[in-house]
Structure 1
Amino acid sequence: MVFRYPNGRSYINNEPTEKKTQATNKKKKPIEFGKRGMRFEEAINLSNEYYLSRGLAVIHKKPTPIQIVKVDYPRRSAAVIKEAYFSQASTTDYNGVYKGNYLDFEAKETKNKASFPFKNIHEHQIKHMNACLKQGGICFILLSFSAVNRYFFLAADALIPLWEEQKLNGKKSVSLTKIEELGIEIKAGIAPRVPYLEAVDQYINWKKGVN
């Protein structure tokens, strides 16, 4: 199946097919999440399921808007999408409600050990976060430094000034030291895998001036 961006450029899916994955799993060590072999996004999805099942929060991954342009029907009861376009730029990965607060956030993973590249955050996402902040929403990114198994909550009101400064100072990344200073570190768990709502609580209390 061929996916294309709005400008017509083909989308290249670098992820292996199911058969290829089964064949290469024995050869390649998976990216670890808390030494449990889980990808960061998968761990967040499981955490959201945990929160939902216990009535703690309703948070879901946003669907990617796609326009289908070519479909084959190999059987009357089946349809196969052969070509599609990403109809618009995505905003952020997740949104939902927690304790009456609207949450909107992005999940990012880097193999870098000491910095997070700004190229992983796009201008339309920054604009989206700014718009949500103006409506009183809680926006943030969850960062995974997979090489050192460290995970952080970084609020949008801390991220946005750093992202904007790159236009002036030319910096291409934000250091781990800066993230340690401005963010909240999240310790990987079992249930939930990524207990990020604990960081959200800390952020809410900080905004309210509660120690």
Structure 2
Amino acid sequence: MIINYPNGQPYRFEPDKSQSTTNQVSSRDQAVVFGGRGMTLEETINESNEFYRQQQRAVIYKKPTPIQIVKVDYPQRSKAVIREAYFRQASTTDYNGVYRGYYLDFEAKETTNKRSFPLKNFHQHQVDHFQNCLQQNGICFTIMRFTSLARYFLTPASLLIQHWQEQKDGRKSIPLSEIETSGYELTLAYRPTLDYLNAVDQLIQKTNLKN
């Protein structure tokens, strides 16, 4: 199937090879780490979100990508095959929802790097979206996975925005040391697979103290 961007350029799928998290929670417990083995970051978060909904802790979903279908073949009367489609518009962030009365909005990314997280994994429209949501008092963050380190971090969107604005004058990545300091390290477990809401609680508390 061919999928094109709104400007007509073809979309070439490249597997995302990066993701992470920070401070208070460590992934040292080998007894439960098996729970997330073999899963992509997206699968891990989706499974966690399903558990949260079942437990009525939060209502969070992955945002669908709007696609305009332009060519469909019907090899069988009961089966349609999409041959060509276009992204209707640039997507914003991966996930959003409601938790404890707060609007949550976040992006999930991963990297094979060991010492920093590349800014090229993000896009200007995503940074703009974070800024707009923060102006409306939304709780915005990224979930990053360092695949080669098997470490996950939840980091406030403000950290991404800061480094995004500074990249014109220097570094094109966020050092792991800053992610460890400013973020919250997450652990893999059984149910949920990645319990990131505990880190969100800390981010909400920190945000409220600032306000």
TM-score (norm 1): 0.86
8 Å contact kept, 1:33–1:40: no
Please provide the CA RMSD for this pair: 1.8
Q: Deviations over 1:57-113 (max 9, x none)?
A: 000000011011111122333322110011111100000000100000000010111
Name the count of aligned residue pairs.
193
- Measure how far apart 1:209 and its partner are: 3.1
Residue equivalent to 2:158: 157
Q: Deviations over 1:126-148 (max 9, x none)?
A: 00000111111111100000101
Q: RCO (CA 8 Å, sep 6+): is it higher in 1 or 2?
A: 2
Residue equivalent to 1:58: 59
**Identity between Structure 1 and Structure 2 (%):** 58
**What are the residue-to-residue correspondences of 1:1-211 with 2, within 5 Å?**
1-14=1-14, 36-168=37-169, 170-209=170-209
Q: Deviations over 1:140-198 (max 9, x none)?
A: 10000010111111111222112111122x21111100111111111221111111101
**Distance of aligned partners of 1:43 and 1:137 in 2 relative to their CA distance in 1, 3 Å threshold:** same
**Distance of aligned partners of 1:80 and 1:144 in 2 relative to their CA distance in 1, 3 Å threshold:** same
8 Å contact kept, 1:33–1:39: no
Letter of the 1:62 counterpart: K
Moved over 6 A (4+): 32-35
Unaligned runs of 5+ in 1: 16-31
Distance (whole Å) between structure 2 residues aligned to residue 203 and residue 8 of structure 1: 40
TM-score (norm 2): 0.86
Unaligned runs of 5+ in 2: 16-32
SS of the residue 1:144 aligns to: strand
